[in-house]
Amino acid sequence: MKKRPASTMLKKKKPVLAPALDCPIQKTCGLCLYVNSPYEKGVAAKYQKDLEQLQRIFPTPVPALPPVLSPKPLRYRSSMKLAVRSNDRGWIEIGVFKPNSHQIVEMQQCPLHAPALQKFLYKLPLAIKDAGLLPWNEDTQEGELKFIAARCAHLTEQLMVTFVVTHMQAREKVLRCADILKEYGLTIDSLNLNVNPSKGNEIFGPETHRLAGAKRLRETLCNLSISLSPTSFLQVNPWIASKLYHRIEQLAGTPNAGAVAIDLYSGVGQIAMVLARSGYRVAAIEETPSAKDDASTNLQLNRLQKSVEFFSCPVEEFSCTHPEWADQPQLIVVNPSRKGLSDSARAFISITAKKSSGLLIYVSCNLATLIRDLEFFQQENFRVHQVEAFDLFAQTDKLEWLVVLSPTP
């Protein structure tokens, strides 16, 4: 039998891990430490690093569940807030600031944004130029368009876009820009204008105006309808946020009749509604004005307005003015911003939880402030039962942590 030439023979290959993504902007962006590594390997590395830091503050090792992986490691980000600037050559740059600088890293090639956002970003610079919108120039402190905020519903890909401009006179140019995008085949389901005349880098100003389309964007999480206005907050990864909220629901359990839960930093009400659905009477506290309106709408959409009372105030104010029925909650859920809890918020939570030996569930996106707050609660004789991690920020070096605590008798 005649042998085939060696060059045509099949060679047995060694097994390899799932191929890594070759992200073209990873080195300049610096936000996604693991995007060019196999996904599960990156999650394992950051989980181990964070867990070691957490375990150091506990007198004895605390049970830790394996990290919950993101169902979509890529194309998962359903929202973005990007700066709009012009470079020395006059070309429009849209992206995030490089770490420790005001140099823009353009995000048109970011592999984390949902397809609807990627399509929008790809067509946006030319539309801005053709509409005559002038990008903000930090050196001269001149220009009209400072930021673009966009969100898409993760199941329907409906698109909400907010142009953040320095003055209301830019309205007609924004409308022209939207018309050009429509000519390019892009549908914007909710078009908004936010006026931010400040010279700093705050994204949103005090005024938001709807220019066209729906007033709010409709999302669906945990079989709940969630309505969002342009400046309200919702997690950037709805795919795994649903798993996080279901886990809170599971830990909360089915309460006895009349049991009360307090949801601090409740946003548009997603956790409060999950708890109400389980049978709790819920006091939801959130100081952002737009979130109050969204929460009211969401409670009506899901027919839960009789089970949740929303308080539009800082947590520190609620600690002094809360109603008598919320004085001894069986459950407190805390989901603060990156800065964590203030001194008075920590004190209020400690005092309130001890009144009924209630369970405390702390959700955090910032390990440093989480560790600081957990050290306080341990000093206040709280027991940490377990810690859990959710890869809410897939490919980055960050995890969302959930910690279960209770006061010791």
Q: How confident is the model at residue 91 (pLDDT cuts 50, 70, 90)?
A: confident
Asked if the model's pLDDT at residue 15 lies above 50, the reply is no
Among candidate residues 128, 30, 32, the one with its CA nearest the CA of residue 83: 128
Name the more confident of 169 and 97.
169
The share of the chain scoring above pLDDT 90, in percent, equals 76
22 DSSP β-pair partners:
none
Asked if the model's pLDDT at residue 221 lies above 50, the reply is yes
- The alpha helices in 85-114, defined as continuous H runs, are none
Mean of pLDDT values over 153-177: 96
Asked if the model's pLDDT at residue 86 lies above 90, the reply is no
Q: How much is the pLDDT for 208?
A: 95
The whole-chain average pLDDT of the chain stands at 90
In a 13 Å sphere around the CA of 203, the CA atoms on its Cβ side amount to: 16
Q: How confident is the model at residue 19 (pLDDT cuts 50, 70, 90)?
A: very low
Mean of pLDDT values over 327-351: 95
Among candidate residues 187, 128, 177, the one with its CA nearest the CA of residue 152: 187
For each of the domains in the chain, give its residue range(s) and CATH number, in order of start. 79-220 (2.40.50.1070), 237-407 (3.40.50.150)
Asked if the model's pLDDT at residue 13 lies above 60, the reply is no
Q: How much is the pLDDT for 17?
A: 41
Name the more confident of 409 and 373.
373
b/e code 253-265 from CB counts within 10 Å (16+ = b): eebeeebbbbbbb
281: which 2 tokens?
Answer: 């009477």
SS (H, E, C) 64-75: ECCCECCCCCCC
DSSP 8-class letter at 113: B
**pLDDT tens digit string along 252-305?**
999 999 999 999 999 999 999 999 999 999 999 999 888 889 999 999 999 999
Q: How confident is the model at residue 97 (pLDDT cuts 50, 70, 90)?
A: confident
Mean of pLDDT values over 143-149: 95
* DSSP β-ladder status, 331-334 and 260-264: parallel
Q: To which residue do tokens 């795919």 refer?
A: 239
Residue type, 349: I
Cβ contact 320:350 at 8 Å: no
Cβ contact 147:203 at 8 Å: yes
Q: How much is the pLDDT for 252?
A: 95
**pLDDT tens digit string along 43-52?**
999 999 999 9
Q: How confident is the model at residue 322 (pLDDT cuts 50, 70, 90)?
A: confident
Min mean pLDDT across 159-163, 260-264, 320-324, 390-394 is at: 320-324
Cβ contact 346:382 at 8 Å: no
- Name the helix (H) or strand (E) containing 63: none
Is the Cα dihedral 219, 269, 380, 348 positive or negative?
positive
Residue type, 185: G
Q: How confident is the model at residue 21 (pLDDT cuts 50, 70, 90)?
A: low
Q: Report DSSP letters for 312-354, one per residue.
A: -S-HHHHHHH--GGGSS-SEEEE---TT---HHHHHHHHHHHH
Among candidate residues 313, 316, 264, the one with its CA nearest the CA of residue 289: 313
